[in-house]
Amino acid sequence: KAGVTQTPRYLIKTRGQQVTLSCSPISGHRSVSWYQQTPGQGLQFLFEYFSETQRNKGNFPGRFSGRQFSNSRSEMNVSTLELGDSALYLCASSLSRDRGPDTQYFGPGTRLTVL
Amino acid sequence: DAKTTQPPSMDCAEGRAANLPCNHSTISGNEYVYWYRQIHSQGPQYIIHGLKNNETNEMASLIITEDRKSSTLILPHATLRDTAVYYCIVRVPEKGTSYGKLTFGQGTILTVHP
């Protein structure tokens, strides 16, 4: 079974621009979560989508948004980019069972550089 | 959320067992212990998880103490490719959802040397 895929893998933008990142989950997985990883803050949770609805949200400004499509694919958008948004953005998918924890499987990430 | 404490770094000789400790003294009864690892600039890789009992899979073994206040991840025969940051995470159930987000700490940098 194919793993989580993320596109693009690398991206360079300038301050003030916006960016859209894409994530395709493992087939059959219904939940998609996004994380940001920076050297200073480590790995931080952005948000989780399930059945096209945001189910959980981390402590990030409104410039960070996302959505999920009916096929479970997800996109995240960052508007008005700042230098501090330079990071590795990771997507993780899971089955999202009704009981018990669901194991999240990560994609390779998108490396965003803001100049 | 139940917090975890891990040593910042550890060394291991290739071919030997790597034992990575994790302290989670405030863990509650329905909170699971998960382990992930991250090789430089790649996405985190799931290793193993457990609730009360010891667990083993093709990658590693997880030993959880009887009081559940600590655990140890064991890589039985470490190789150079096991050099990575290892994260111990306690999964907390969240109302109305499944077990929600993963909260990553700083992890343990494991260096396997020849």
User: CA A91 from chain center: how many Å?
Assistant: 4
Which residues of B lie closer than 8 Å to A, measured between beta carbons? 32, 34, 36, 41-46, 49, 87, 91, 93-94, 97-106
Q: What is the pLDDT of residues B11-64, one digit of tens each?
A: 999 999 999 999 999 998 888 999 999 998 899 999 999 999 899 999 999 999
Q: Are A4 and A24 spatial neighbours (Cβ–Cβ below 8 Å)? A: yes
Query: Which chain B residues are closer than 8 Å to A90 by Cβ?
Result: 43-44
d(CA A81, CA A87): 12
Count the neighbouring beta carbons within 10 Å of the beta carbon of residue A38. 13
CB contact under 8 A, B34 and A101: yes
* Whether the predicted pLDDT of A2 surpasses 90: no
d(CA A113, CA A29): 29
Angle CA B55–B40–A91, to nearest 5: 70
Cβ-nearest to A108 among B43, B94, B99: B43
Size of interface A-B (CB pairs under 8 A): 66
Q: Are A23 and A107 spatial neighbours (Cβ–Cβ below 8 Å)? A: yes
Q: Is the pLDDT higher at A114 or at A101?
A: A114
